[in-house]
Amino acid sequence: MKRQLLQHRLVQLLYVLVDALAAELVWFAFLFFRWNVLDEIVTGWDTFWAPAFSFSLSGDYYPALLFPLGCILVYYFLGYYLRPGKPKVPRLIWSTFVGAFIITCGAFVLIIMDDVDIVNAVRYYKSFGVLLLFQFGIVLVPRLILYYTIQRRFRREMVIIRMQDGMTEHDLYARISELFLAGKDIAIEPRVFDVFTGAARIIHIDESPLIVVSEPNMKDFEVVIKRVFDIVASAIMLIVMSPLFLLIALVVKLDSPGPVIYKQERVGLWGRTFNILKFRSMYKNSEADVPQLSQVGDNRITRVGRFLRKYRLDEMPQFWNILKGEMSIVGPRPERPYFVAQIMEKAPYYCLLYKVRPGLTSWGPVKVGYTDTMDKMLQRLMYDISYTENMSLVLDIKILLRTVGVLVDGKGQ
């Protein structure tokens, strides 16, 4: 699994480097057009190179290092680097054109519209069209070459699960869970009902429709924006709320002996475990043997712990988990391996949550609250499964607003 993750990061880095070099070539090609074609100014190479590397934001030219950086940021927010090698060629061409159009518009708004050398509309249109053509064509060619190279050498093959005779649902989800842990892309051959309801989609024009299990039902650019929001929001919260964190830490320490921060193993993205962070709300060694669910009036909870849990303040250190990429602000609540095993005995489809990062809050916790019984766990699971099947930025915003209401009302246990 670690080897596959490293390979994925290296491929992402390769995509970024190729785009950066192509953007630099676009920049110099556009400069040559502006000087030697549009303005009909014949210059020597020394005169040509000098302004190209100017770092002044004023004048006729973009800084040569800032233009590629701007291009990378645009393509990043469009989600191009999220799953390199996954989109098919038509989608690759379309995303490249959309990015080129946004970059060209941005270039004109920030710099070229203030260019004193372009004095009429015809020159504006020519410059816009040429920059758009350069940005699209010069970036697309190396992308296509890299795409086919990745397809041959590095791309993970999608494992297609076919419902064979005698295969039960417990067998199906057990297989899906194994593939998640192995880091495989997973798809299921649909039934007729799945095709009619739209659950199945066409991956390739020459292939049958499939239900893709391992990818979140969210557009790539939304996934990127969601992650950027997680990073920015969690960093701000950790900084702004640091005085409150210190106060809580002091009160927890004075209230009862034991560590201030409590670490607990949870199951997260791709079925991998991680240590979730909490302010300790129970007495030390409250779970020395078998893990237990907290109950109403649980005598293991400290006086300070009851207040922290009522307003969910004990969960605040998880912004560090979010910053590290182990969690998201909105996503299914992660559970302990001990209870995951119990849940999967009754609801083997729990493994479908593995395709998204677990969250600080989600539709399940908002609707069900703390889960002190297995029935509540299964009820929360249905809400979380529904969330993963309908993920969007709009839904995240609605869940966050509902979460604020829960916090204000102090509905925690």
Of 99, 96, 329, nearest to 234 by C-alpha is: 329
Is 60 exceeded by the pLDDT of residue 66? yes
pLDDT of residue 120: 62
Indicate the residue type of 121.
A
pLDDT tens, 225-243? Answer: 999 999 999 999 999 999 9
69 φ/ψ angles, rounded to the nearest 5 degrees: -60, -45
Who's near 154: CB < 8 A, 6+ residues apart? 7, 11, 85
Indicate the residue type of 167.
M
SS3 for 280?
Answer: coil
What's the CA gap between 374 and 185, in Å, rounded?
Answer: 30
Who's near 5: CB < 8 A, 6+ residues apart? 183
pLDDT tens, 275-284? Answer: 999 999 988 8
pLDDT of residue 404: 85
Mean pLDDT highest for which of 68-72, 159-163, 187-191?
A: 68-72
Is 80 exceeded by the pLDDT of residue 6? no
Write b or e for each residue in 380-391: b if 16 or more Cβ atoms lie within 10 A of its Cβ, otherwise e. Answer: bbebbbebbeeb
Is 50 exceeded by the pLDDT of residue 59? no
What's the CA gap between 13 and 161, in Å, rounded?
Answer: 31
In the predicted model, what is the mean pLDDT of residues 138-163? 80
In the predicted model, what is the mean pLDDT of residues 32-57? 54
The pair of structure tokens assigned to 4 is 């596959």
120 φ/ψ angles, rounded to the nearest 5 degrees: -145, 165
SS3 for 260?
Answer: coil
Distance of CA 59 to the CA centre of its chain: 38
What's the CA gap between 140 and 146, in Å, rounded?
Answer: 10
What's the CA gap between 398 and 213, in Å, rounded?
Answer: 25
Who's near 152: CB < 8 A, 6+ residues apart? none
pLDDT of residue 38: 61
What is the DSSP-derived secondary structure letter of residue 36?
A: I
Mean pLDDT highest for which of 76-85, 177-186, 291-300, 318-327?
A: 318-327
Is 70 exceeded by the pLDDT of residue 350? yes
Is 60 exceeded by the pLDDT of residue 45? no
Residue 330 has a CB neighbour count (10 Å cut-off) of: 25
Mean pLDDT highest for which of 63-77, 216-230, 321-335, 376-390?
A: 321-335
pLDDT of residue 400: 92
Is 60 exceeded by the pLDDT of residue 30? yes
What's the CA gap between 177 and 349, in Å, rounded?
Answer: 9
In the predicted model, what is the mean pLDDT of residues 363-367? 83
pLDDT tens, 247-288? Answer: 999 999 999 999 999 999 999 998 899 999 999 998 888 876
Is 50 exceeded by the pLDDT of residue 222? yes
What's the CA gap between 312 and 309, in Å, rounded?
Answer: 5
- Pairing between β-strand 185-188 and β-strand 211-212 as defined by DSSP bridges: antiparallel
Q: At what angle do helices 2-33 and 66-77 cross, to 10 degrees?
A: 130
Mean pLDDT highest for which of 43-57, 62-76, 334-348?
A: 334-348
What's the CA gap between 18 and 146, in Å, rounded?
Answer: 8
What average pLDDT does the chain have? Answer: 81
- CA distance to 162, 257, 384, per residue, from 350 (Å): 20, 37, 9
Alpha helices in 189-257 (DSSP H): 192-197, 220-240, 242-255
Percent of the chain with pLDDT over 70: 81
Is 80 exceeded by the pLDDT of residue 84? no
**Domain residues of the chain, as ranges?**
2-153, 158-212, 220-409
What's the CA gap between 140 and 145, in Å, rounded?
Answer: 9
What is the DSSP-derived secondary structure letter of residue 37?
A: I
pLDDT of residue 41: 46
The pair of structure tokens assigned to 212 is 């893709």
Q: Which helix (H) or strand (E) holds 275?
A: strand 273-279
What's the CA gap between 237 and 229, in Å, rounded?
Answer: 12
